[in-house]
Structure 1
Amino acid sequence: MSLSKQLQGYRLTTAEILYHMPDHPGVLQSFVWQELDIAPRYPVLNGFLAFWARQIEGRLHSVRVGSAALISPGEMRHGSLLTLQ
């Protein structure tokens, strides 16, 4: 995962994609996709879903998305001063 992308606001994005099996449309299959993307527009995920709709036979049923920042501001805590004797 690219540090430069993370510094530009990309977040680790995970999507659970449910789709209809091409040979058995009544059966749903799950596919997990994970990539760095920018919330809330998710251009990378939307590009993948557009590719899926054009190239993959399994018709999309639903997509559940979660994302989390991998780089966050550090915490600074003030502790008590220890005196060594």
Structure 2
Amino acid sequence: MPIVIDSDFKQMLAGFGLTTAEVLYRMPDHPSLLQTFHWQFEDLSPDYPRLKRFLDHWEREIEAMIHSVRIMHHRLIAPREVRLVRDGGLLQ
């Protein structure tokens, strides 16, 4: 029987993680008002291809002018610290 690996798990191993983007923008009819849009999704750090596609779409299709974008990212699977212990003491 073949082993089936979940596609979401494969993405986690490839480095995908939970990404939150905070987009600050201004609408043309209220240029002095800075507004916020938050979006949370899975993306691949450090290139963020999904975020780039979204921002490209925003630039093409939405009238609002982006002021800045802040990105927070956390890998869903990351290396863990390993300590070797023998006879109750930590090996250096």
Same fold at TM > 0.5: yes
CA distance in 2: counterparts of 1:43 and 1:11, whole angstroms: 12
Corresponding pairs, count: 80
State how 1:63-78 maps to structure 2 within 5 Å.
Answer: 63-73=69-79
Structure 1 unaligned runs (5+)?
none
Shift of 1:57: 0.9
Q: TM-score, normalised by structure 2?
A: 0.73
Structure 2 counterpart SS, 1:5: helix
Instruction: Kindly provide the CA deviation profile for residues 13-65 of structure 1, in whole angstroms up to 9, marking residues without a partner as x.
Output: 11100000232011111000111111111111011000000011111000001
The amino acid that maps onto 1:8 is: A
CA distance in 2: counterparts of 1:74 and 1:62, whole angstroms: 33
Whether the 8 Å CA contact 2:22–2:70 is kept in 1: the answer is yes
Partner residue of 1:8?
14
Partner residue of 1:48?
54
Q: TM-score, normalised by structure 1?
A: 0.78
CA distance in 2: counterparts of 1:47 and 1:20, whole angstroms: 20
For the aligned residue pairs, the C-alpha RMSD in angstroms reads 1.9
